[in-house]
Amino acid sequence: MATKTHPSVRAKGTKASVLLGTALVSISFMTPAQAQSKSFMDEIVVTAQKREQGLQSVPLAVTAATGEQLEMLNLTDVGDVEFFTPGLLWGEGGSSQWPTIRGVNTPVNENIGDPSVAFFINGVYKSRTGQALATMVDVERIEVLRGPQGTLFGRNATAGAINVVSRKPTDEFEYGVDGTFGNYSTLEAQGYVNIPITEKFQLRLAGSGKSRDGYVNNIGTGPDLNDEDIFYGRLSARILPSENVEVIARISGMDRDRAGGGAFTYKVLGQMFDVSQGQRSVFGEPVFINPRVRDGIADFVNGVNVGDIGVPVNLDPYVVDTNFKNTERTKSIDADLEITVDLDGMELKSITAYSDFSSLPTNDNDFTSLSDILNRSSLLSQDAETFTQEIQLSSNDDGPLQWVVGAFYLNDKTFEIFSIDDENGIQGPFPNRDGDLTTFVFNRQTDVDTESWAVFGQATYNLTEDFSITAGGRYTEDKKDFKLREFGWLGFLGFNPDIDSSETFDKFTWRLGAEYQVDDDSLLYASVATGFRSGGFNRFVDAGTTDANTFDSETIRTYEVGSKNSLLDGRMRLNLAAYYSKLKNQQVATVISVGGTGQSGFDNAGKSEIYGAELELQAQVTENWFAQGTMAYVHSEYKEYFAAGFAGDGLGDPNVIDAGGSPVIDLAGNTTERSPEFRATLLSGYDFPLDNGGMLTPLVAFTYTSSFYNTQFNTPLLKQDSYTKTDLRLVYTSPDARFKIEGYVENLEDEAVISRGTYGGSNAAFVSYAAPLTYGLRIRLRN
């Protein structure tokens, strides 16, 4: 529906033209028998440079989609944006999200590390990847910025940034309801209602609920996995106290409960074993056994008896055999206050936000139902409270100089408990440090408090009517306080000393750019930009000290050239980008030997090199036929990386020892994690007008992804082979465009794709797989 623009946010000059065009598009959406294709080529207004611009006018690699386009593509989760974003691969493991942009991965779901893709909701930074789980409700648009965004978006944006923008309250009554019914007993409902109380006070309520049975069959006594019950609600208020002030207040809550992959994944795939060495090894052969349990039966590798090294695993990706009830309970409460003031030629904006996030995944720690042999479970409890404040002052006129300056503050307090329980008491009971008897094999408590502040600024100056230059910079300082307390059975880890450490990480990041408007339809740009991800603490001490082992900050510098083009009288858009990135101290998740036992942690790859090219295409082929495509080529390689070896694997260079006392492994030449060399997507749809004035639209969405490795070791056990994914939709739109009914099929190939693969304790390879073939019916109603 049309939205009146309040004077406090009214743009001037060319900005007003863009907003006027958007309003006209909104009005046109009300016309009868609205075709799917009509909103397909709409210009999108984004805030990728902290000011409103048309997407095709931004000299950055930015992909964006409106809420209408997301509905058309049936993209209901944040991870679905990988379909229309070149260079993005989304993964999910356990209770966390694992996006990779342009070969830079986010290998973290614990509180000791930070993501490399900065995630924002309505411009508010979210420090935990799990907070992306339930945000795609009543969305205005989503923006994906590819490449380092260290100037305007700041810390932990070395790979890029994602911003989900929800719809604001408006001065007109409107509502919408969606209902979905699908296989695996899927039931989902979404809805929103906008209530204009007065001309200067409006409310908007949005919410969703979803229930689904698990698609991973548990042949043991435990429940099936990857079921889901999730509820989300958001209340927004818009207040206009005067003609030049706008206030937006939001509060939202999310509750997600499922039997899933615990902290990381839901299945043991096996391990690598070197027969000649008679031991596990990253350079050995894949062995499909679970090394966490011994059954007294000899195992054979390539026909050689290697003794009892584990129990066989079921290779069906959607079958497990466990007896413990895996759970994933995730909750979040978020509130933010956005105040915008028009200062006549300038705009002042304040964004204040608070978040309370908790996650409690538990899982069968031995990954078997052999409770008579070993019956261990584990949990990873996380709690995080985050406060952020950002102040922006920006130009708001048609002058040759456009600028923005600002300051940012973050206070992030996290507390994490990881414990392993031996319910059979095989390794217990034993006395803990307080002298009490317990069946816990291991218990670890970690506090990480982060206080961060930054100041930033960026300016663009038009040297001529067609040629502009941009320069920006940001100084960031992160102070992290780290506390660790752990105890365990002496044969497991021993009684490690308490750790209380503090470190400060700071960096100046910058961006330089130039753009040339060839004509009204073509833009050329070039830039060099830097990014910074702060370092942190591993959960063990350096040898001979009582100080926590640390990993260094990750930095990146990216050179990029690009072109944005409108062709065929506006019926086609073609955007191209090419880039070259150099990373120093890239943070990599690994297993580090500590006292002969592997612990998860981070180390740094000294140097990495990544380069690639991207293409985005949208076309209104005919009045009723529309198409969209993306392509991405990525070459990613570690140039200098001596990695921590597997605990007890006995390999590596004996002259180079890691912090845990094990030889390291030279991984120079390996590709970075989850970085397919080539990925392409294609969407095509056609609107068939019906005699009753309605519309029938079939759509086909196709994705091809080349093979990639899930870890830095590039072992075949955790290699994802190339695959295709085809989604089908058939949409009926009523004559008045208020009602739609849609049938869908997703993953027509029923391909099992690794969404998360990692090495963990006992040097086992753990995996989670994305959903198999799904289908269903969706109904939409709008006023």
Judged against a pLDDT cut of 70, whether residue 771 lies above it is answered with yes
Residue keyed to tokens 């009288």: 569
Encoding tokens for residue 57? 């006018």
Q: In whole angstroms, what is the distance from residue 179 CA to residue 551 CA? A: 47
pLDDT at 593 over 70: no
- Bigger pLDDT: 490 vs 268: 268
pLDDT 10s digits, 304-316: 888 888 888 999 9
Q: What is the pLDDT of residue 12?
A: 36
Burial of residue 26 (CB within 10 Å: 0-12, 13-18, 19+) is middle
Q: Is 751 exposed, middle or buried (0-12, 13-18, 19+ CB in 10 A)?
A: middle
Say which DSSP state 137 is in.
S
- Helix (H) or strand (E) run with residue 68 in it: helix 67-72
Can you read off the two tokens belonging to residue 393? 């002052």
pLDDT range class, residue 591, cuts 50, 70, 90: confident
Asked if pLDDT for residue 490 goes beyond 50, the answer is no
Whether 617 shows a pLDDT value over 80: the answer reads: yes
692 C-beta neighbours (distance < 10 Å), count: 9
319 close to 311: Cβ distance less than 8 angstroms: no
Tokens 């548990």 correspond to: 218
Mean pLDDT of 475-479: 96
**Residue whose entry in the numeric block shows the structure tokens 């994602």:** 162
Mean of the per-residue pLDDT values for the chain? 85
In order of 155, 206, 554, 670, 703, the CA distances from 87 in angstroms are: 21, 31, 20, 19, 13
Q: pLDDT digits over 335-356, tens only?
A: 999 999 999 889 999 999 999 9
The answer to whether 387 and 2 are in contact (CB under 8 A) is: no
Tokens representing residue 35 in the block: 């075709």
Q: How far apart are CA 283 and CA 274, in angstroms?
A: 7
**Stretch 87-94: mean pLDDT:** 84
Please choose, from the candidates 550, 539, 635, the residue with its C-alpha nearest in 3D space to the C-alpha of residue 587: 550
Q: In sequence order, which residues have a C-beta less than 8 Å from that of residue 585 and are 6 or more positions away?
A: 535, 551, 552, 553, 554, 555, 604, 605, 606
In this structure, the strands spanning 522-533 and 499-519 are: antiparallel
Q: Tokens 């679970």, residue?
A: 290
- Write the CB contacts of 137 (distance below 8 Å, at least 6 apart in sequence): 166, 190, 192, 206, 207, 208, 232, 234
- Mean pLDDT along residues 749-763: 85
pLDDT one-digit tens code per residue, 41-79: 778 999 999 999 999 999 999 999 999 888 888 888 888
Q: What is the dihedral of CA 635, 567, 570, 50, to 10 degrees?
A: 40
> Token digits for 597?
């036992």
Residue 425 confidence (pLDDT): 55
**pLDDT band at residue 85 under the 50/70/90 scheme:** very high
SS3 content of the chain, % helix, strand, coil (to 5): 5, 60, 35
Residues 6 or more apart from 531 whose CB is under 8 A from it?
A: 148, 149, 150, 157, 158, 159, 509, 555, 556, 558
The answer for 196, left when phi > 0, alpha when psi is -120 to 50, beta otherwise, is beta
d(CA 369, CA 601) in angstroms, rounded, equals: 28
CA–CA separation, 182 vs 731, rounded Å? 16
Distance CA 248, CA 266 (A): 41
- The per-residue b/e assignment along 716-734, b for 16 or more CB within 10 angstroms, e otherwise, is ebbebeebebbbebebebb
Alpha-carbon span 527 to 575, nearest angstrom: 16
Structure confidence by residue, pLDDT tens digits, 521-564:
999 999 999 999 999 998 877 666 677 888 999 999 999 999 99
Q: Spell out the domains of the chain, with CATH numbers in brackets.
A: 7-782 (2.40.170.20)
Q: Judge residue 185's burial from the number of C-beta atoms within 10 Å of its C-beta, 0-12 exposed, 13-18 middle, 19 or more buried.
A: exposed
pLDDT-derived band of residue 327, with 50, 70 and 90 as boundaries?
A: confident
What is the percent of the chain with per-residue pLDDT over 90, rounded to a whole number? Answer: 57
| Segment holding 653, helix H or strand E | strand 653-657
pLDDT at 112: 81
CA distance 428 to 401: 70
CB count, 10 Å around CB of 424? 14
> Parallel, antiparallel, or unpaired: how do β-strands 695-705 and 708-709 relate?
unpaired
Instruction: Quote the radius of gyration of the chain (alpha carbons, Å).
Output: 26
- Asked if residue 416 lies in contact with residue 449, where contact means CB atoms within 8 angstroms, the answer is no
What tokens were used for 193? 């209602």
What confidence tier does 476 reach under pLDDT thresholds 50, 70, 90? very high
Q: Do the beta carbons of residue 539 and residue 568 sit within 8 Å?
A: no
For residue 209, the one-letter residue type is G
109 and 264 in contact (C-beta within 8 Å)? yes
Please state which of the ranges 105-114, 635-644, 652-661 shows the lowest mean pLDDT.
Answer: 652-661
CA dist 638 and 579 (Å) reads: 17
Q: Are 699 and 728 in contact (CB under 8 A)?
A: yes
Which residue reads 């942690």 in tokens?
601
Question: Would you give the distance in Å from CA 694 to the centre of its chain?
Answer: 38
Write phi, then psi, for 608 (nearest 5 degrees).
-135, 150
Interatomic CA distance for residues 133 and 150, integer angstroms:
24
Collapsing DSSP to helix, strand or coil, 235 comes out as: strand
| Residues 685-736: tens digit of each pLDDT | 999 999 999 999 999 999 999 999 998 989 889 999 999 999 999 999 999 9
Paired with 347 in beta bridges are 342, 394
State the Cα–Cα distance between residues 705 and 717, nearest whole angstrom: 18
What is the CA 618 to chain-centroid distance, rounded? 25
- Count CB-CB contacts under 10 A for residue 504: 11
User: Which tokens hold the place of 483?
Assistant: 């506390």
Of 81-95, 264-278, 382-396, 510-524, give the lowest mean pLDDT range: 264-278
- On the question of a cis peptide bond just before residue 429, with omega within 30 degrees of 0, the verdict is yes
Handedness of CA 99, 105, 111, 113 (dihedral sign): negative
Structure tokens at 352: 């204040």
Neighbours of 544 (CB within 10 A): 6
